Amino acid sequence: MTTKVIDLRSDTVTLPNTEMREAMYRAEVGDDVFGEDPTVNRLESDAAVLVGKEAALFVPSGTMGNLAAVLTHTARGHAVILDSEAHIFYYEAGGSCLVGGVQLWPVSGLHSPEGLLNFKKALRPENLHFAPAKLLCLENTHNRGGGTILKPEAQNAFFEAARKSGLSVHLDGARIFHAAIALNCPVTDLTRSCDSVMFCLSKGLGAPAGSILAGSASFIQAARRYRKLLGGGMRQAGMLAAAGLIALKHIPHLSEDHRRALRLAQGLSGLPGLKVSPFPPPTNIIIINIENTGLSSPEFVSSLQSYGVKAIAFGENLVRMVTHRDISDSDIDWTLKAVEGLCTKILKQQ
């Protein structure tokens, strides 16, 4: 048993650092529902410029940002096309259906090389039997895909095809800066052509809470009303926006998380019973197939915790680890030793 804990469950587990806490303490604030919080206003205008959009909206979470986007782009009875493993479909409590009254239309392999073809096949002609598709949602990087990246050319091909069929495009860019850093391209290459983009300040970038939804001025004006409807009007939210402004400064350092993810994945791949896929990990998310250990993923995760490492069960035989700003090189060494210890013990028992 150990008291040291290395938390690789998600990049949401980061704690605000001293610089952030000081900025939060000193933040100039006002009532943001009246548009009077100068720190929120600054974050929103900086964020809009950053992703090449006219306007942006500070929201409490990525889930709310995505839902406000779906509500703004669609009306009840519309269909929304997205990947069958998309966060909006998989992990957002069915909010689009419950609150927006839309039909989520999942397409498998939307982010695979056949994705564009699959999207085109999913489009159906106008017919009174069908819910009309009004929105395509893409996810970059793709969380359940293992942090995989859609390159600008691939994204643009989707945008073009969607527009031709009268669909708007929302980009769930919770980790869009991870994609831009890994591709070594300006983030605007990935965000310019979509109608709206959501990105998270509280993943990887280290803010305690908050996401940004960005789009045209008229889109954001409409989304602002939905944020209020969803209970996301936060009054003196400048305390959180101040942390968000510091978080934006962390973007260039995401390459460190990618470097550590690669080292971790290389080490894990050499251990008995483990297979990392995709390998090498494109960004900061590592998916490990543990089928050959004979343990279920919840069993593996709970055994690993007794070695001081937290990971997350991500499917029947899959375990996910995510590197983030609170994970150091020595944490990676420790993790590899812990997993090796567990795998050796399992092997002895077989």
- Record the tokens describing residue 65, joined without a space: 């940002």
Residue 16 or 62 having the CB closest to ligand PLP: 62
Selected binder of ligand PLP within 143, 196, 323, 335 (CB under 6 A): 143
Binding range to ligand PLP, per CB under 6 A, among 61-69, 126-134, 159-167, 224-232 = 61-69
Q: How far is the CB of 319 from ligand PLP (least distance, A)?
A: 16
Taking the least distance from each CB to ligand PLP, the nearer of 43 and 274 is 43
Our finding on whether 174 is near ligand PLP (CB under 6 A) is: yes
Closest alpha carbon to 141 in 308, 294, 258: 258
**What token pair was written down for 24?**
């939060």
Helix (H) or strand (E) holding 308: none
Mask 64-83, x = binds ligand PLP (CB under 6 A)? Answer: --x-----------------
Site string for ligand PLP, 192-231 (x = CB under 6 A): --------x-x--------x--------------------
Q: Which is nearer to ligand PLP, 78 or 144 (CB)?
A: 144
Residue range at the interface with ligand PLP (CB under 6 A); choices 43-51, 55-63, 248-256, 302-310: 55-63
Q: State in angstroms the smallest separation of the CB of 263 from ligand PLP.
A: 22
Instruction: Please check whether residue 320 is in contact with residue 257, taking contact to mean a CB–CB distance below 8 angstroms.
Output: no
Give me the least distance between CB of 63 and ligand PLP, in Å please: 3
What is the gyration radius of the CA atoms in the chain, in angstroms?
A: 21
Q: Which residues pair with 168 in a beta bridge?
A: 135
Q: 109: which residues sit within 8 A by CB, 6+ positions away? A: 83, 115, 118
Buried b (16+ CB within 10 A) or exposed e, 96-111: beebbebbbbbbeebb
Beta strands in the chain (DSSP E): 6-7, 55-59, 79-83, 103-107, 133-139, 168-172, 196-200, 211-215, 275-276, 285-289, 309-310, 312-315, 318-322
**Hey, what are 217's tokens?**
């001025």
Is 240 an interacting residue with respect to ligand PLP (CB under 6 A)? Answer: no
By C-beta, is 7 or 336 nearer to ligand PLP?
7
Q: Which stretch binds ligand PLP (CB under 6 A): 60-68, 114-122, 298-306, 326-334?
A: 60-68
Residue 11 neighbours by CB under 8 Å, 6+ apart: 175, 203, 204, 257, 284, 322, 323, 324, 325
- Least Å distance between CB 194 and ligand PLP? 14
Using the minimum distance from each CB to ligand PLP, give the nearer residue, 300 or 314.
314
**Residue 199 and residue 183: Cα distance in Å, rounded?**
17
> Does 40 sit near ligand PLP (CB under 6 A)?
no
Instruction: Write the interaction track for ligand PLP spanning residues 144-163; mark x where CB under 6 A is met and - where it is not.
Output: --------------------
Which residues of the chain form contacts with ligand PLP (CB under 6 A)? 61-63, 66, 87, 139, 143, 172, 174, 200, 202, 211
